Structures are given as structure tokens and as C-alpha cells.
């Protein structure tokens, strides 16, 4: 009976040690994954800043411009220009 109890304690001890060791390994694995994700997000942010419209960098605007309606005042496009032959 003493031998069985001793063997069972040894097996339980090894299992607990293996679980603790695998837990520590998993923590380092998660840390590594989070570091990779952080680097990828920084790369994405860096790449999107390079592709902003030119006027956005200068003015800080969204790049939207009011349409140029001055062509509508041109007499070449007015009702006088639309004569039927």
C-alpha cells in the first residue's frame, strides 16, 4: 500500500508540474502573438498615413470639395446655345 501511495503521489506531482510548465509556455506564446498583432497594427497605421490625399495632409480636411458650378454660367451651355436647326 505504501508503494502505491508513493507512486500515485509521484504521478500527481509530475502532472501538476507539467500543467504549470505548459501554462507558463502558453503565457509566453500569448505574449508573442500580442506583440505580432501590435506590430501589424502599427504597420497598417503607418501604411494608411502614407496614402492620404495630398490636400488632407496640407489642410487637415477630409478631401471633399464643393463642385465647381461656374461652368453652368458659361453662355455656351445656356438655353441660347440649344437652338434647334
Residue 75 lies in a domain: no
Q: How many residues belong to the chain?
A: 85
pLDDT score for 31: 97
Query: Which pTM value belongs to this model?
Result: 0.48
pLDDT digits (tens, 9 = 90+) for 41-56: 999 888 887 665 555 5
- Band of residue 36 on the pLDDT scale cut at 50, 70, 90: very high
Q: Is 57 helix (H, G, I), strand (E, B) or coil?
A: helix
- Three-state DSSP class for 21? helix
Lowest mean pLDDT among 6-10, 27-31, 71-75: 71-75
Q: How far apart are CA 11 and CA 27, in angstroms?
A: 24
32 in a structural domain: yes
Would you give the distance in Å from CA 45 to the centre of its chain?
7
Domain for residue 83, yes or no? no
Q: Confirm whether 8 is domain-assigned.
A: no
- Mean pLDDT over 72-76 rounds to 70
Half-sphere exposure of 78 (CA within 13 A, CB side): 6
In a domain, residue 79? The reply is no
User: Quick check: is 82 in a domain?
Assistant: no
To the nearest whole percent, how much of the chain has pLDDT over 90? 47
The mean predicted confidence, pLDDT, of the chain is 81
Amino acid at each position: 500500500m505504501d508503494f502505491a501511495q508513493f507512486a500515485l503521489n509521484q504521478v500527481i506531482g509530475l502532472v501538476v508540474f507539467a500543467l504549470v510548465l505548459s501554462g507558463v509556455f502558453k503565457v509566453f506564446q500569448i505574449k508573442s502573438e500580442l506583440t505580432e498583432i501590435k506590430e501589424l497594427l502599427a504597420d497598417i497605421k503607418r501604411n494608411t498615413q502614407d496614402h492620404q490625399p495630398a490636400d488632407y495632409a496640407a489642410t487637415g480636411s477630409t478631401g471633399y470639395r464643393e463642385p465647381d458650378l461656374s461652368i453652368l454660367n458659361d453662355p455656351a451651355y445656356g438655353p441660347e446655345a440649344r437652338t434647334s436647326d
